[in-house]
Amino acid sequence: MDGYPRETDADACTTRTLYLNSGTYTWTQIRDLVRYPRRDIYLAAGTYTWTDCLRPHDHYYQQTSTLDKAGSSPATLTGPEFTTLSGDITFGSLLDPHF
């Protein structure tokens, strides 16, 4: 991060594709060592595109995590707004199966 974000700054995203078994998962966003927000979600078996992004707005960032399976509506987990002036940030999300 380098100063206050602007709406015109590019998103910072990472995307992966993975196969998930059907079941309930706890889905949690991670930013540095903080794990919040979290929710339980039922996912059908299939191949998902999993995307985590930091989205700049004027003077703050917002983290979003999306799970997208072809033929289904994407699920999104949106974290609270945060600010930072500069430095490194580690971010992502975690799926913890209940089975």
pLDDT tens, 8-27?
888 999 999 999 999 999 99
**CA–CA separation, 9 vs 11, rounded Å?**
7
The H helix count followed by the E strand count for the chain is: 0, 7
Range of the domain at 84: 12-97
Q: Quick one: how far is CA 43 from the chain centroid?
A: 16
Strand order in the sheet with 60-69: 12-20, 46-57, 60-69, 75-78
pLDDT of residue 85: 67
Query: Considering the domain boundaries, does residue 85 fall inside one?
Result: yes
pLDDT tens, 37-89?
999 999 999 999 999 999 998 888 999 999 999 999 999 999 988 887 677 88
Confidence class of residue 30 from pLDDT cuts 50, 70 and 90?
A: very high
Give the residues across from 30 on adjacent strands. Answer: 35, 92
Query: Considering the domain boundaries, does residue 1 fall inside one?
Result: no
Domain count within the chain: 1
Q: Quick one: how far is CA 39 from the chain centroid?
A: 12
Query: Considering the domain boundaries, does residue 2 fall inside one?
Result: no
